[in-house]
């Protein structure tokens, strides 16, 4: 169909099957903030927000917010910056440092890590709130000279990702651009201010068309909101060029008196999980640590362990979600070892258990438990039910509560060849386990009838 630039037409777009099937994407926050690589540690987003809005913005866990917190008098970032670089060193002085570091970057090596992690798509932050561009746009920043990367990071990474048979998407900070709004965000009211001038609106629109045309993006991943415009013109242009593309939900239009919500293909909670299956497709985004941008002061204690990540991922998939897992590279494009270890740990599990994840859909219920308290999550595909237990049983049998299957069903443990013996005990299902089951964070049972 041909999409028109109005809400009714855009609302008819259906989510392509590839996005339902993909389950795992990689988010990349990489920019000038990767040079100082500083933020508070020991606090996750929830803990930070509990301290109140003003305290959160003053001392938040997000390294990519370095410029904003630097502008707030008395912040830990201001103290760190002055102590490390001096009071006369501006944020813009990181530009030549970043551009020198990225000469070392190998996009193919980065894409290979994502492939080994089991990702099916990648979303690169092309411009974060600081306004620094990761590509040589035909529409340069009118307020700052040469305020962009010296390499075409967007183009080089997009090519490398596609060569690995992954989809490529692009993030853009829509209504927040601190190169247009010099006052810091400290309160909730400040957060609504944004960049809404006609000059900025044209600037942002031009960038999105450039990302669609030149870089052939498959995902329009906007953040925070968007300045006043007929956003449906961009959406219709995108869908008509790429009917199998997708658009996220962070496009609410900022104006002087109201904010309008816009139809989308999927919703994007942050560091958040749901207890029930969501009817609308969702994609939760989170860092491996507590920051999106690289924070060199985070330690192993701040990072997810591979086992934790695997269990979070399974839970998300069972409830109709995708996981957009963030990496925060160092300034030179190197992904820190602790992040790589987590990615490869997930990939290793998926090499065995991917059948129970990729291409699946939620079952009629997302979860139960075994009699001895092990959490169970469910997916389904091609008339097969997958029961994924989130631990390794201590005995040679398990009983899954509230799971009834048909009499002629067969069960096998993915990664093992032989069918397993099973018994229906009322509403519970008892399964005898193979002798050679290995320790793992989760095991997938395929139930076929």
Q: What confidence score (pLDDT) does residue 199 get? A: 97
Measured distance CA(248)–CA(282) in Å, rounded: 9
Q: What confidence score (pLDDT) does residue 259 get? A: 63
The bridge status of strand 367-369 relative to strand 375-381 is antiparallel
- Mean pLDDT of each 10-residue bin along the chain, 449 residues long: 96 98 98 97 66 75 96 95 98 98 98 98 98 98 97 98 98 97 88 87 98 98 95 98 98 74 94 95 97 96 96 98 98 98 98 98 97 97 97 94 96 94 97 92 97
- Domains along the chain with CATH numbers: 7-356 (3.20.20.80), 367-448 (2.60.40.1180)
Neighbours of 1 (CB within 10 A): 9
Measured distance CA(239)–CA(216) in Å, rounded: 12
Q: What confidence score (pLDDT) does residue 44 get? A: 63
pTM for this model (two decimals): 0.96
């Amino acid at each position: 169909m041909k999409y028109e630039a109005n809400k009714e037409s855009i609302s008819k777009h259906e989510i392509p099957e590839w996005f339902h099937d993909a389950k795992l994407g990689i988010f990349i926050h990489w920019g000038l903030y990767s040079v100082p690589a500083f933020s508070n540690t020991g606090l996750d987003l929830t803990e930070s927000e509990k301290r109140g809005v003003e305290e959160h913005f003053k001392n938040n866990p997000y390294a990519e917010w370095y410029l904003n917190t630097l502008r707030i008098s008395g912040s830990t970032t201001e103290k760190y910056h002055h102590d490390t670089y001096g009071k006369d060193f501006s944020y813009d002085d990181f530009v030549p440092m970043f551009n020198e570091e990225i000469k070392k970057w190998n996009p193919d090596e980065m894409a290979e890590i994502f492939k080994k992690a089991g990702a099916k798509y990648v979303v690169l932050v092309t411009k974060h709130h600081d306004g620094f561009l990761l590509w040589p746009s035909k529409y340069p920043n009118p307020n700052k000279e040469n305020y962009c990367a010296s390499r075409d990071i967007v183009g080089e990474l997009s090519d490398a990702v596609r060569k690995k048979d992954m989809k490529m998407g692009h993030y853009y900070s829509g209504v927040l651009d601190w190169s247009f709004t010099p006052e810091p965000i400290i309160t909730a009211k400040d957060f609504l201010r944004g960049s809404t001038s006609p000059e900025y609106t044209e600037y942002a629109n031009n960038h999105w068309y450039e990302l669609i045309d030149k870089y052939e993006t498959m995902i329009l991943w906007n953040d925070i909101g968007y300045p006043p415009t007929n956003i449906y013109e961009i959406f219709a242009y995108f869908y008509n060029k790429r009917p199998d593309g997708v658009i996220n939900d962070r496009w609410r239009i900022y104006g002087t008196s109201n904010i309008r919500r816009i139809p989308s293909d999927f919703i994007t909670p942050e560091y958040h999980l749901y207890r029930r299956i969501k009817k609308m497709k969702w994609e939760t985004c989170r860092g491996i640590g507590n920051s999106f941008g690289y924070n060199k002061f985070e330690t192993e204690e701040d990072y997810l362990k591979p086992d934790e990540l695997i269990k979070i991922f399974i839970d998300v998939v069972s409830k109709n979600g995708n996981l957009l897992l963030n990496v925060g590279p160092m300034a030179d494009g190197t992904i820190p070892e602790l992040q790589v270890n987590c990615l490869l740990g997930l990939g290793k599990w998926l090499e065995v258990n991917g059948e129970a994840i990729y291409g699946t859909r939620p079952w009629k219920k997302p979860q139960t438990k075994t009699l001895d308290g092990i959490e169970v999550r469910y997916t389904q595909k091609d008339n097969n039910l997958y029961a994924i237990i989130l631990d390794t049983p201590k005995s040679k049998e398990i009983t899954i509560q509230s799971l009834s299957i048909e009499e002629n069903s067969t069960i096998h443990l993915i990664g093992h060849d032989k069918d397993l013996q099973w018994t229906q005990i009322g509403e519970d299902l008892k399964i005898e386990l193979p002798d050679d089951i290995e320790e793992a964070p989760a095991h997938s049972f395929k139930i076929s009838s």
